[in-house]
């Protein structure tokens, strides 16, 4: 079987879609070496990493080099990618086109399998964006119905896709994600010393990493932290994440709230490069993730894989990710967040229990398993 893969995000290994693509492409030829894998990337992408053994990389020329970034992306997805697939396939060998993000082509000469991680813009109105974003979403919600099968990252996302995209449930399969191989437990004391040196975090700290947009629910975390401090709990809250916009409907004024709650000296906004990610998880006293909605929710899984005690909201897909290995709190229950964080901060035995349970839970997820479940769907579609 020939597996042709949309490699748009191959040159972006640090973003979510790029991490997923790299994890899969690394493992697909290991779990199913009998197939031929071709990774198709836009030729204008810079600094394209080499593919792993068993995968051929082809750079595809766009119809024009004068297109802006958005039009070039659309042209690759809808025109140049299907044309390239047409040239590379024949009827003597089964073939399938795998699109690892929400952008399946309207037409393709072979069956298409598309991964839809989440459909947040279709569920949360404030995320629908401007005219260009709405037009693009209108297109891809139609083209995805031409896919023979859709993969997603959780049962919750599967249910949302069936409901909002009107896809038959038999054509949507959840394949749960995994943390990258770099997320491993380490020497906690050594990690704390290094984090104190690099980031100035010298006392026990609650850690959050992720987006700073409204659905991440950081206002509740800040309110809970303020109540903890008022009780005399000595801890710092470290928030890692980039502000990607200034629309107050999407991006609350966190700095203003921090000042209003008199937390200026107790909250640290930090930038954590990818290579330091495991270090912060290993060093934190507790990892907090109060998000209201996630297609999967990778940070809690990464945290557990590094041995961090985890407190998460009990919303959307997060219970599927953490199972019984984390403390779960309703996202809007500020008092509940105070109680949960206070318990973990003040109870060394509880932290040890959560660490052990989290490591066991994280071990259930691997890219080997993601690749096995993905190739099973690709084989079924290609042979149908």
Residue 264 CB partners (closer than 8 Å, separation 6+): 258
3-class SS at 59? strand
Q: CA 187 to CA 192: how far, in whole Å?
A: 9
Residue 116 CB partners (closer than 8 Å, separation 6+): 101, 102, 144, 150, 151, 152, 157, 161, 165
If one counts the domains in the chain, the total is: 2
**Any domain includes 104:** yes
- Residue 63 is predicted with a pLDDT of 66
**Any domain includes 46:** yes
Q: Is the distance from CB of 217 to CB of 241 less than 8 angstroms?
A: no
- Residue 275 is predicted with a pLDDT of 95
**Any domain includes 314:** yes
Closest CA to 266 of 307, 322, 225: 225
- How many Å from the N-terminal Cα to the C-terminal Cα in the chain? 12
Assess whether 204 and 73 both reside in one domain: no
Q: How far is CA 302 from the centre of its chain?
A: 11
Assess whether 107 and 27 both reside in one domain: yes
Assess whether 105 and 199 both reside in one domain: no
What ranges make up the beta strands (E) of 27-128? 36-42, 55-60, 95-99, 112-115
3-class SS at 17? helix
Structure tokens at 290: 């109060």
Query: 210 — alpha (psi -120 to 50), left (phi > 0) or beta?
Result: left
Assess whether 169 and 141 both reside in one domain: yes
Q: Of all helices (H) and strands (E), which one includes residue 173?
A: strand 172-174
Assess whether 195 and 282 both reside in one domain: yes
Assess whether 13 and 32 both reside in one domain: yes
Residue 60 CB partners (closer than 8 Å, separation 6+): 40, 41, 42, 43, 76, 80, 81, 84
**Any domain includes 183:** no
Closest CA to 288 of 267, 315, 308, 262: 308
Assess whether 170 and 266 both reside in one domain: no
Assess whether 109 and 230 both reside in one domain: no
- Residue 384 is predicted with a pLDDT of 87
Q: CA 318 to CA 289: how far, in whole Å?
A: 9
Q: CA 108 to CA 207: how far, in whole Å?
A: 45
Q: CA 381 to CA 306: how far, in whole Å?
A: 36
**Any domain includes 351:** yes
The count of other CB atoms within 10 Å of the CB of residue 276 is 17
Structure tokens at 248: 């107050």
Assess whether 62 and 161 both reside in one domain: yes
Digits of tens for pLDDT over the chain (384 positions)? 999 999 999 998 888 899 999 999 999 999 999 999 999 998 765 678 999 999 999 998 876 666 777 788 888 999 999 999 999 998 889 999 999 999 999 999 999 999 999 999 989 888 878 887 788 888 888 899 999 999 999 999 999 999 999 999 999 999 999 999 999 999 999 999 999 999 999 999 999 999 999 999 999 999 999 999 999 999 999 999 987 677 777 899 999 999 999 999 999 999 999 999 999 999 999 999 999 999 999 999 999 999 999 999 999 999 999 999 999 999 999 999 999 999 999 999 999 999 999 999 999 999 999 999 999 999 999 998
Assess whether 200 and 306 both reside in one domain: yes
Q: CA 78 to CA 374: how far, in whole Å?
A: 23
When computed from its CA atoms, the radius of gyration of the chain, rounded to whole angstroms, is 22
The CATH number given to whatever domain includes residue 155 is 3.40.50.2000
Assess whether 164 and 219 both reside in one domain: no
The count of other CB atoms within 10 Å of the CB of residue 383 is 10
Assess whether 137 and 79 both reside in one domain: yes
Q: Which domain holds residue 325?
A: 188-362
């Amino acid at each position: 079987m020939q597996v042709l893969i949309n490699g748009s995000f191959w040159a972006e290994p640090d973003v979510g879609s790029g991490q997923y693509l790299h994890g899969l492409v690394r493992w697909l030829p290991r779990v199913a070496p009998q197939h031929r894998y071709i990774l198709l990337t836009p030729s204008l992408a810079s600094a394209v990493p080499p593919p792993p053994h068993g995968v051929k990389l082809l750079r595809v020329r766009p119809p024009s080099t004068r297109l802006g970034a958005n039009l070039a992306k659309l042209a690759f997805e809808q025109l140049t990618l299907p044309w390239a697939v047409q040239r590379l396939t024949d009827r003597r060998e089964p073939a399938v086109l795998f699109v690892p993000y929400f952008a399946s082509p309207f037409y393709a000469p072979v069956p298409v399998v598309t991964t839809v991680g989440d459909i947040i813009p279709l569920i949360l109105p404030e995320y629908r964006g401007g005219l260009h974003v709405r037009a693009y979403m209108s297109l891809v919600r139609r083209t995805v119905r031409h896919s023979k099968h859709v993969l997603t990252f959780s049962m919750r996302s599967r249910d949302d896709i069936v409901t909002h995209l009107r896809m038959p449930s038999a054509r949507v399969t959840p394949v749960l994600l995994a943390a990258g191989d770099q997320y491993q437990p380490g020497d906690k004391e050594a990690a704390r010393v290094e984090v104190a040196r690099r980031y100035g975090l010298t006392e026990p700290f609650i850690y959050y990493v992720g987006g700073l947009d409204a659905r991440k629910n950081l206002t509740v975390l800040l309110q809970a932290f303020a109540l903890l401090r008022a009780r005399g709990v000595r801890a710092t809250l470290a928030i890692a994440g980039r502000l990607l916009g200034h629309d107050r409907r999407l991006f609350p004024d966190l700095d203003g709230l921090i000042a209003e709650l008199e937390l200026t000296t107790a909250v640290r906004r930090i930038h954590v490069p990818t290579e330091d990610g495991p270090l912060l998880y290993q060093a934190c006293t507790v990892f907090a993730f109060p998000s209201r909605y996630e297609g999967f929710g990778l940070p809690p899984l990464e945290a557990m894989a590094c041995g961090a005690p985890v407190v998460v909201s009990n919303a959307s897909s997060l219970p599927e990710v953490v199972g019984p290995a984390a403390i779960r709190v309703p996202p809007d229950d500020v008092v509940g967040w105070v109680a949960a964080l206070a318990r973990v901060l003040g109870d060394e035995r509880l932290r040890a229990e959560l660490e052990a349970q989290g490591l066991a839970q994280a071990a259930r997820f691997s890219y080997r398993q993601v690749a096995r479940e993905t190739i099973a769907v690709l084989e079924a579609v290609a042979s149908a």
